[in-house]
A and B are shown apart, each in its own frame.
Chain A
Amino acid sequence: MDVLTVKNLHKQFGTFTAVNNVSFSIGEGEIVGLLGPNGAGKTTTIQMLLSLMSPTSGSIAFFGKSFFSHHEEILQRINTSSGYARLPWRLTVWENLNVYAYMYKVANRKEKIYSLSDRFEVLDLLPKKFQDLSAGQMTRILLVKAFLNDPEVLLLDEPTASLDPDIAEKIRNFILEERSRRNMSMLITSHNMSEVEEMCDRVVFLNHGKVFAVDTPAGLAHRNDKAELSLMIKDGLKRLVKSAIRDNFSYVEKNRFITITIPESKIAPFLLDIGKQGIEYDEIEITRPSLENFFLSVSKGAV
């Protein structure tokens, strides 16, 4: 069963179309990445999914119920966090979390706040004022807030932005554990492509407000099959360049190093060919097509 169904979502600001007939769904226990270059419509879409912005047209349904007619019931069952959101800065962390625990009618408020704070390693921050926290600490507190009501669907906008790599990894692990434990579903935007590849079952790729592609992270990565073959040549650099030109592969050459952009499927025959020609190399590095390559290709309009 789909926990979120978005149909023909459209948002118009005057003559500018921010979101153009976007449709997608999220299944129970599924983690979906919402990706796209800046201005693609990701944040606008998430804001409409949180009722912070009303759509111009289209429909949103959570748990099979219309968001517009079951607004409070649905918002009680979902939650959100953003790497850029803030909480009232004069209040202490404890006070802020206590307010939202009341808001979501959390049972055993104190225990819940302490146990989540422990999981996110922010127990020592509870007595501190929100204004005295670093950006990374604020992000973690907002994640604690997001888990207060044990959401069935979590909408995360850049959740690990401004976090140290070790903390970001712990948070990713926690989120994946919660998914396994409670079958929680999630929509996540991130500029960290390796994070998306690690966490997401599917990616909805937006570009210029439209759904450009929907696929698994690996599926999207392989839509652009260009790999990069980097070699440090010991002998035969001129012959290697000739071979690249012959096969219409673009290349960048610097001193004894050469990087050739080549379809992944042609790497093996190419290496075999240069081996036959007696071209010798000391180092080799192959960068396979990745989600990041796909992202960059779409941003540059190459796909």
Chain B
Amino acid sequence: MKPIAWHRVWAVVLRHLYNFYHSWDRIVDAFYWPSLDIIIWGLTISALTKQGQGAIIQISMVVSGIILWYVLWRGQYEITVNLLEELWSENLGNLFSSPLTLPEWTIALCALGFLKLILTIAFTALVAYFLYAVNIFHLGFALIPFIVGLLIMGWGFGLFIAGLFLRFGTNIQTLAWAGGFALMPFSATYYPLDSLPNWVQAVAHFLPSSYIFEGMRSVLLTGSFQTDMMIKSYLLNAVFLMLALAFFIRSFRLARINGLAHLK
């Protein structure tokens, strides 16, 4: 593999940071929706607890689940929406008639996911703390493998959806926002896995995220970190990321056959 030219990676990151600064849409996506989710779910669980139905579900679990969910979503979203930004602004031709390579572009999009994830987590963690006194950092060092695992899964899913965009263009652009949420019911984000229907559990066993959310609950409830769950999650993540990368690279080659500048 050829060496990465980091100045080109920075150029792509800078292009999207400029866009973030100028775009209310992107700012709302980064801060408003995650905060709204925390407020709505927090209030719902508070109400259930007051009615005596909240014994099983603790508010800290749901709120922590929301914050961690946005890790996965952010990783996926930055890859897919930033590809859409290039398609909307007809910039793909400018980018790939420059010396920028596909690995450099991909690294830049993943890096953006990481950078904005820090912003989103910091903001939502503050919202959760001030509204419900939930401190996500009570998860301690376990938070690091949880975040890394979910971010990798988000990147993998983002690359898969980006591969679809390279094949079908903006006709399916709604997947950039909605695609990630398709994984949510199967990820045991808010509820323990064994409380879900059997068929949902069957699907969940193939998703790296379900092991992470189960692991998070284990830390919150018992204080124990389930290493075996993390290993399963990371192994699945490795397989899915490789498959997603292969699909993305293949889609890019196909797009180049038809012409990158024609992609809309």
Q: Which chain A residues have a beta carbon within 8 Å of chain B's beta carbons?
A: 13, 44, 47, 50-54, 71-73, 75-76, 79-80, 85-92, 95, 98-100, 102-105, 129, 145
Residue contact B8 to A85, C-beta cutoff 8 Å? no
14 extra A-B contacts, CB within 8 A, seeds A88-B19, A88-B89: A13-B258, A51-B96, A52-B259, A53-B261, A54-B256, A71-B99, A73-B99, A80-B97, A87-B89, A90-B23, A91-B18, A102-B7, A103-B100, A145-B94
Residue contact B258 to A95, C-beta cutoff 8 Å? no
Residue contact B85 to A88, C-beta cutoff 8 Å? yes
| Given known contacts A72-B99, A88-B19, A102-B14, A54 and B93 CB-to-CB distance under 8 angstroms | no
| Given known contacts A52-B259, A102-B14, A90 and B97 CB-to-CB distance under 8 angstroms | no
Residue contact A52 to B256, C-beta cutoff 8 Å? yes
Residue contact B93 to A87, C-beta cutoff 8 Å? no
Interface 1/0 per residue, B57-85 and A, CB below 8 Å: 00000000000000000000000000001
B170 within 8 A of A: no
Residue contact B261 to A89, C-beta cutoff 8 Å? no
Greatest chain B CB density within 10 A among A13, A72, A99, A145 is at: A99
The answer, among A13, A52, A100, for a CB contact under 8 Å with B93, is A52
Chain A residues with Cβ under 8 A from B19's Cβ?
88, 90-91
A12 to B, closest residue via Cβ = B257
The answer, among A52, A72, A85, A129, for a CB contact under 8 Å with B22, is A129
Question: In whole angstroms, what is the CA distance A135 to B185 when docked?
Answer: 47
CB distance from A92 to the nearest CB of B (A): 8
Q: Which chain B residues have a beta carbon within 8 Å of chain A's beta carbons?
A: 2, 5, 7-8, 10-12, 14-15, 18-19, 22-23, 85-86, 89-91, 93-94, 96-101, 253, 256-261
Residue contact B18 to A95, C-beta cutoff 8 Å? yes
Residue contact A54 to B8, C-beta cutoff 8 Å? no
CB distance from A155 to the nearest CB of B (A): 8
Question: In whole angstroms, what is the CA distance A92 to B14 when docked?
Answer: 13
Question: In whole angstroms, what is the CA distance A104 to B89 when docked?
Answer: 20
| Given known contacts A90-B19, A105-B7, A47 and B98 CB-to-CB distance under 8 angstroms | no
| Given known contacts A52-B259, A76-B99, A90-B19, A102 and B11 CB-to-CB distance under 8 angstroms | yes
13 cross-chain CB contacts under 8 A? A47-B93, A47-B261, A53-B256, A53-B259, A72-B101, A76-B99, A86-B89, A87-B91, A90-B22, A91-B15, A92-B18, A103-B8, A105-B7
Question: In whole angstroms, what is the CA distance A29 to B86 when docked?
Answer: 34
Residue contact B89 to A85, C-beta cutoff 8 Å? no
Chain B residues with Cβ under 8 A from A71's Cβ?
99, 101
Question: In whole angstroms, what is the CA distance A172 to B137 when docked?
Answer: 62
Residue contact B23 to A50, C-beta cutoff 8 Å? no
Residue contact A91 to B22, C-beta cutoff 8 Å? yes
List the 5 closest pairs (A to B, CB-CB), nearest first. Answer: A102-B11, A50-B97, A103-B11, A53-B259, A75-B99
Question: In whole angstroms, what is the CA distance A75 to B258 when docked?
Answer: 20
Question: In whole angstroms, what is the CA distance A54 to B262 when docked?
Answer: 13
Residue contact B99 to A88, C-beta cutoff 8 Å? no
Chain B residues with Cβ under 8 A from A90's Cβ?
18-19, 22-23, 89
| Given known contacts A47-B261, A72-B2, A105-B7, A52 and B96 CB-to-CB distance under 8 angstroms | yes
Chain B residues with Cβ under 8 A from A85's Cβ?
90, 93-94
CB distance from B86 to the nearest CB of A (A): 8
Residue contact B98 to A100, C-beta cutoff 8 Å? yes
Question: In whole angstroms, what is the CA distance A80 to B97 when docked?
Answer: 8
CB distance from B20 to the nearest CB of A (A): 10
Residue contact A52 to B14, C-beta cutoff 8 Å? no
Question: In whole angstroms, what is the CA distance A100 to B86 when docked?
Answer: 14
Question: In whole angstroms, what is the CA distance A71 to B96 when docked?
Answer: 11
The answer, among A53, A73, A105, for a CB contact under 8 Å with B258, is A53
Chain A residues with Cβ under 8 A from B98's Cβ?
75, 100, 103-104
| Given known contacts A87-B89, A88-B91, A104 and B99 CB-to-CB distance under 8 angstroms | yes
Residue contact B11 to A75, C-beta cutoff 8 Å? no
B8 to A, closest residue via Cβ = A103
Greatest chain B CB density within 10 A among A44, A73, A75 is at: A75
Chain B residues with Cβ under 8 A from A129's Cβ?
22
Question: In whole angstroms, what is the CA distance A105 to B96 when docked?
Answer: 15
CB distance from B101 to the nearest CB of A (A): 6
A78 to B, closest residue via Cβ = B97
| Given known contacts A76-B99, A102-B10, A103-B11, A54 and B257 CB-to-CB distance under 8 angstroms | yes
The answer, among A72, A76, A86, A100, for a CB contact under 8 Å with B90, is A86
Chain A residues with Cβ under 8 A from B91's Cβ?
86-88
Question: In whole angstroms, what is the CA distance A267 to B11 when docked?
Answer: 61
